[in-house]
Structure 1
Amino acid sequence: MSKRRVFDIEFPDVDPPEPIASESSVPAADPRRGPMASAIAENADALRERETLEARIRAENDHLAHEHVRLKKAGLITDLIPIESIKTSKLTRDRRAGRDDELDELKESIRAVGLSNPIRVEALGQGSYELIQGYRRLAAFRELFEETADAAYANIPAGLTARGEELELLYRRMVDENLVRRDISFAEMAQLVRAYADDPETEAVDLDAALTALFGSVSRQKRSYIKHFVTVLDAFGPRLKFPEAIPRALGLQLEKRISHERGAAARMAAALTAAMAATPEAELEVLRDLSVPPREPRVVSPKQAARAAAKTTFRQNVRGGSVRCAAAEGRVELRMNRDFSNMDRHRLEAAVAAFFQALEE
């Protein structure tokens, strides 16, 4: 009988490998947790996720709100604002009362290409706004809407400024915008300085402070000119109908008389009232006369006075009527009821030449 050989195999003491869990495998439920506990746990997880999402949304909204305020303060948010909801009472304008003669050109530009530069307004609440910049643009839109009844002109593009900015800053913005204009006059700038100084809501304690606050960026010489024009406007007041037409040189001459000649302001204002000038040209003519101080009476010797008193007077009848003639030292006067300003200049020159030629013969 044959025997089979038995081999003894010894295995090393190693733990068996753990099974690899697949991504789709689900952990086994705790056999000790019931259905109610599982539902509560799931609800808590959902609440935590919702709170996290809401916190993220609030943070994003806060960021957007701060960005909106920043853009609004910078005037970078624009909207179409009804022209009827815009007020123009907060700032005293530097433009004189009445219609701007150049408004028609602006209206034609708006008709052709629209408004390229929005106005700027301050939100007052309840759908109303206060104008900060763009008085002429707003006036043009209002006239266009009144003339055409086109709904396109019922609303005007406007940059929205947050409410509560300092009044000085609002005035400065209006000044800076107007300094870009080439046609702004010294009288208009002076009107704005006087209005700013008299405004009880500003911090200007006197005229110099108002001038520095509004026109601190211009040269000292130009500020001096503006101050001289304030003196002229204060002296004439409402008697001056066309102050924006006064050129710089004339304004400085008027200020010199007002400031250095006692009683000149009252006399000049009375003369301006009596003139009743109805046009800028007529008023300028009156102001030019007023800018020249009266000549001092010349002191003459008795001999010079005797010579001046000695003169020859007579009347001469000519074809056109009677001529009153007066001759004195260095002077010959011919007076006649006739308008010689309409006569041709060459004929007058020939007549004067013939007159002196006859005297020399």
Structure 2
Amino acid sequence: MTRRRRMFDIDVPAEEVISPQSEVDASNRRGPMATAVRENAEALRARQAVEDRIRVENDALAHEHVRLKKAGLILDMIPTQLIDSTKLVRDRSSAPDESLDELKASIMAIGLSNPIRVEKKADGRYELIQGSRRLRAFAELEAENGDGRFSHIPAGYVAAGDALATSYRRMVDENLVRKDISFAEMAALARAYVADEGTDCEDIDKAVATLFRSAGYQKRSYIRAFVELLDMLGEALAHPEAIGRNLGLELRRRLDGNPAAVARVKSLLTGAPGRTADQETALLRGFIDAVEPARPRAPVSKSGRRAKTSLRIASARGEFRCLAANGRLDLRGPSDFADVDPRRLEAAVSELIAALGLDRPDDG
């Protein structure tokens, strides 16, 4: 009987379960090259994050710089030799300025408290927008001292590319708040604005309205009156800035529509070469006094009161009636005067008072 061979059983161990921690341990056992690659990637990501943050901060700073520059709040010390005054016709007369010495003394003592404003040009130079007297004071101080202290002037930047009318308004509005700028200087600026080829203004009324928008209607009417005065006398006036408001308005009224009177005033002025401002205004006052007729007294009634004067004036709207009496002037007509713009009404009444010569003290 054949004996069957016995087979041996082989015990195979159960499959080992690898825990997550074992996988982490395995990853930590990577080679040096893999570790270096991983660390380099992490460093690049950190560097990129820093660069992104810096870029955002720089963009914010750049936008803030542009905003401050447009607002004229960015200041710099600019060489006075690099500043031009050719873009704008200045609203200041070139006549000697006695108050400039006071400004220079103040700058010497405490420095310049109000920087000028300039516009940077493509050629690296600068165009003056505001501050002609301050720039002139620095130039004179540098010429007098020559030590370099006044070779640079504090300046704020205005945005390049501003419309010409905007640049004129910046200059004019700054000087409107000052009491020493004369009506003749403002009138001269309005005339120059019309003559400037860089503007699209061909009408003096539009020029006055554009440049002196911040001024009231009454003041603009005075400026227009001085424009007419400058048109009539022109270069015969050596010191137009010295002419006061009342003198200028009266002079314009006397000369308007009277070529012979204009010729007479010009003859008076040209006959006094080298005259001072006071001498010129004395000549103009003398002309007015010479042609001023004695104002006749209104007839007096038996009761001792002045008689009334009644006028009828025809117009396209109908008839207006004017009644003048002692201390009283009434105007009636087919219009509602309450609908008239108060500023226009005020200007018209002021011109009427000036035209009647009632704005001067009664010396009789």
Query: Which amino acid is 1:228 matched to?
Result: A
- Listed as ranges, the matches of 1:1-361 within 5 Å are 27-30=24-27, 36-276=33-273, 278-291=275-288, 294=291
Flag the 1:208–1:28 CA change in 2: closer, same or farther, 3 A. farther
The structure having more radius of gyration, on CA atoms, is: 1
Q: Which moved more, 1:140-149 or 1:39-48?
A: 39-48
Task: Please report the TM-score for the alignment, with normalisation by the length of structure 1.
Answer: 0.69
Task: Please report the TM-score for the alignment, with normalisation by the length of structure 2.
Answer: 0.69
Q: Which moved more, 1:168-177 or 1:32-41?
A: 32-41
Q: Is the 8 A contact 1:235 1:269 kept in 2?
A: no
Query: Which amino acid is 1:140 matched to?
Result: A
Q: Deviations over 1:10-52 (max 9, x none)?
A: xxxxxxxx99x8xxx9943438966545544443333333333
| 1:290 CA drift (Å) | 3.5
Separation in structure 2 between the aligned mates of residue 194 and residue 146 of structure 1, nearest angstrom: 33
| 1:266 CA drift (Å) | 4.2
| 1:289 CA drift (Å) | 3.4
Q: CA RMSD in A?
A: 2.8
Query: Which amino acid is 2:216 matched to?
Result: S
Query: Which amino acid is 2:100 matched to?
Result: L
Separation in structure 2 between the aligned mates of residue 137 and residue 164 of structure 1, nearest angstrom: 24
Instruction: Show structure 2 runs of 5+ residues with no match.
Output: 1-18, 294-364
Query: Secondary structure, in 3 states, of the residue corresponding to 1:181?
Result: coil
Separation in structure 2 between the aligned mates of residue 158 and residue 29 of structure 1, nearest angstrom: 69
What is the aligned partner in structure 1 of residue 335 from structure 2? none
Query: Which amino acid is 2:74 matched to?
Result: I
| 1:292 CA drift (Å) | 5.6
Q: Is the 8 A contact 1:257 1:293 kept in 2?
A: no
Q: Is the 8 A contact 1:190 1:229 kept in 2?
A: yes
| 1:68 CA drift (Å) | 0.4
Flag the 1:295–1:91 CA change in 2: closer, same or farther, 3 A. closer
Q: Is the 8 A contact 1:187 1:230 kept in 2?
A: yes
Q: Deviations over 1:129-148 (max 9, x none)?
A: 11111111111111111111
Separation in structure 2 between the aligned mates of residue 128 and residue 144 of structure 1, nearest angstrom: 21
| 1:221 CA drift (Å) | 1.1
Q: Is the 8 A contact 2:119 2:128 kept in 1?
A: yes
Query: Secondary structure, in 3 states, of the residue corresponding to 1:28?
Result: helix
Flag the 1:37–1:243 CA change in 2: closer, same or farther, 3 A. same
Query: Which amino acid is 1:287 matched to?
Result: L
Q: Deviations over 1:257-300 (max 9, x none)?
A: 3323255434433443234351112211222234468589xxxx
What is the aligned partner in structure 2 of residue 345 from structure 1? none
Separation in structure 2 between the aligned mates of residue 295 and residue 101 of structure 1, nearest angstrom: 33
Query: Secondary structure, in 3 states, of the residue corresponding to 1:95?
Result: coil
What is the aligned partner in structure 1 of residue 10 from structure 2? none
Query: Which amino acid is 1:246 matched to?
Result: I
Flag the 1:33–1:229 CA change in 2: closer, same or farther, 3 A. same
Query: Which amino acid is 1:155 matched to?
Result: H
Separation in structure 1 between the aligned mates of residue 227 and residue 291 of structure 2, nearest angstrom: 24
**How many correspondences in the alignment?**
276
Separation in structure 1 between the aligned mates of residue 26 and residue 115 of structure 2, nearest angstrom: 67
What is the aligned partner in structure 2 of residue 316 from structure 1? none
Q: Is the 8 A contact 1:235 1:266 kept in 2?
A: no
Query: Which amino acid is 2:80 matched to?
Result: I
Q: Is the 8 A contact 1:81 1:158 kept in 2?
A: yes
Q: Is the 8 A contact 2:208 2:220 kept in 1?
A: yes
Query: Secondary structure, in 3 states, of the residue corresponding to 2:214?
Result: coil
Query: Which amino acid is 1:136 matched to?
Result: R
